[in-house]
C-alpha cells in the first residue's frame, strides 16, 4: 500500500520548523507508543541536528507494556535523548516533562534565559492532548482525526519555559508498505486514504502471529483461522457484517480497525525493537 497524503499546511509546517529550529533549545517529539519507529518522522531527526530531544510515547495505555519498556530503553540510548511513556488517564506522568527538560540544561540560568521547546509529531499522535495537559487548560484543538492543528503557536508554561506547537508533520508518503500499513492501522492517516478491508487484513495477520488470544477473545473465536481472510470472514459472521453473497469485508474491516484503535483487542504494540524495524527502512 503506497500512501501519499501530505496536506499543504504540513509542507508549510516543515518549512516553518526549519526556520525556527535555530531559535529553540530542544525538541519534544511525540510518538505513538504502539509504533514508535513507524510514527517517527525522519525529517525531524534531520531538522533538529544535535539539539536535545525528549521522546514522548503517547497512548501507552493502548500498547503492550513489556514492549513499551523495551522501546524506552532503546530510545534512551540515543544521543542527547530522554524518553517517557504517558497516558491520557495519568496526566501526573506527563507533568514531569518540564523537569526532564530542565535536566538537559543544568548550567542554564532559566530565569534570565527561559527555555523554548519545540513540540513535534506526526498527525493524530496525541500532541495536542499533551500540550493541553501541560498548560492546564485547552490551548490546542483535539480530535480523533489527523491534521487538527493547522498553525504554530507558543504556549508559555512558566517564566522559565515555553512550548512552541506546530501542526502534525508527516512526510510525502513512505515507499515502505509495512510503515504505511502500521500508520493506517493506528489512525495517523485519514481513513479516506485507504480501504478498511486492506488494512484490517494486515492487522489481522499481525495479530494472528503476535496476539492470537486477543483476537479470539475479542470476537469469541475458538481459534484463529488458517489465513487472515478466513479470520476476517469469521469476524464478519460473528458481528453481523454480512451482505447478499457473503461477508461484507469493508464493514468487517472497519470494525476491526476501529476496535484495535480503541483498545478493544487489548494492549497491542504494532512493532517491537529489533527485527520489526531492522527490515523496515523509511524512505
Domains of the chain: 8-165 (3.40.50.300), 195-278 (1.10.1580.10)
Q: How confident is the model at residue 11 (pLDDT cuts 50, 70, 90)?
A: low
Integer Cα distance of 61 and 131 in angstroms = 18
pLDDT band at 250 (very low <50, low <70, confident <90, very high): very high
Residue 7 pLDDT greater than 60, yes or no:
no
Share of the chain above pLDDT 70, in %: 84
Confidence label for 75 from pLDDT (cuts 50, 70 and 90)? very high
The DSSP bridge pattern shows strands 161-165 and 115-121 to be parallel
Q: How many residues are given for the chain?
A: 283
DSSP assignment letter at 237: H
Q: For residue 9, which of 126, 144, 167, 189 has the smallest C-alpha distance?
A: 167
Highest mean pLDDT among 9-18, 37-46, 151-160, 264-273: 264-273
CA distance 188 to 257: 12
The DSSP bridge partners found for residue 154 are 164
pLDDT digits (tens, 9 = 90+) for 36-60: 999 998 888 888 888 999 999 999 9
Q: How confident is the model at residue 19 (pLDDT cuts 50, 70, 90)?
A: confident
Mean pLDDT within 92-121: 94
| pTM score | 0.88
Higher pLDDT among residues 9 and 224, named by residue: 224
Residue-wise pLDDT for 132-145, tens only, equals: 899 886 555 444 44
Q: Among 80-94, 117-131, 220-234, which range has the highest average pLDDT?
A: 220-234
What distance in Å separates the CA atoms of residue 105 and residue 26, rounded to the nearest whole number? 10
* 251/4: higher pLDDT: 251
| 87-96, 191-200, 208-217, range with greatest mean pLDDT | 208-217
The mean pLDDT value of the chain amounts to: 87
Q: Report the C-alpha gap between 198 and 209 in whole angstroms.
A: 17
Over residues 134-184, the pLDDT tens digits come to 988 655 544 444 444 445 688 999 999 999 987 656 554 556 789 889 999
85 vs 143, which has greater pLDDT?
85
What values do phi and psi take at 94, rounded to 5? Answer: -60, -30
- Tell me what pLDDT residue 161 has: 96
Q: How far apart are CA 254 and CA 247, in angstroms?
A: 13
Confidence at residue 145, expressed as pLDDT on a 0 to 100 scale: 45
Amino acid at each position: 500500500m503506497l500512501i501519499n497524503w501530505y496536506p499543504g499546511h504540513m509542507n508549510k509546517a516543515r518549512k516553518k520548523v526549519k526556520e525556527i529550529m535555530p531559535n529553540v533549545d530542544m525538541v519534544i517529539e511525540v510518538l505513538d507508543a504502539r509504533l514508535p519507529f513507524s510514527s517517527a518522522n525522519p525529517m525531524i531527526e534531520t531538522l533538529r541536528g544535535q539539539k536535545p530531544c525528549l521522546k514522548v510515547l503517547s497512548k501507552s495505555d493502548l500498547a503492550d507494556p513489556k514492549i513499551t519498556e523495551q522501546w524506552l530503553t532503546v530510545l534512551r540510548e540515543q544521543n542527547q535523548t530522554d524518553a517517557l511513556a504517558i497516558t491520557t488517564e495519568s496526566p501526573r506522568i506527563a507533568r514531569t516533562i518540564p523537569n526532564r527538560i530542565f535536566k538537559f540544561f543544568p548550567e542554564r540560568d532559566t530565569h534570565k534565559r527561559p527555555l523554548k521547546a519545540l513540540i513535534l509529531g506526526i498527525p493524530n499522535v496525541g500532541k495536542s492532548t499533551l500540550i493541553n495537559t501541560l498548560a492546564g487548560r485547552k490551548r490546542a484543538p483535539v480530535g480523533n482525526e489527523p491534521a487538527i492543528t493547522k498553525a504554530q503557536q507558543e504556549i508559555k508554561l512558566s517564566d522559565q519555559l515555553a512550548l512552541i506547537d506546530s501542526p502534525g508533520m508527516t512526510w510525502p508518503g513512505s515507499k515502505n508498505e509495512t510503515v504505511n500499513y502500521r500508520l493506517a492501522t493506528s489512525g495517523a492517516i485519514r481513513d479516506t486514504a485507504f480501504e478498511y478491508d486492506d488494512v484490517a487484513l494486515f492487522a489481522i495477520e499481525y495479530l494472528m502471529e503476535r496476539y492470537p488470544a486477543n483476537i479470539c477473545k475479542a470476537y469469541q473465536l475458538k481459534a484463529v483461522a488458517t489465513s487472515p481472510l478466513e479470520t476476517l470472514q469469521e469476524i464478519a459472521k460473528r458481528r453481523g457484517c454480512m451482505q447478499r453473497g457473503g461477508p461484507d469485508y469493508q464493514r468487517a474491516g472497519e470494525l476491526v480497525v476501529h476496535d484495535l484503535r480503541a483498545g478493544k483487542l487489548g494492549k497491542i504494540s504494532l512493532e517491537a525493537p529489533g527485527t520489526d524495524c531492522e527490515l523496515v527502512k523509511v524512505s
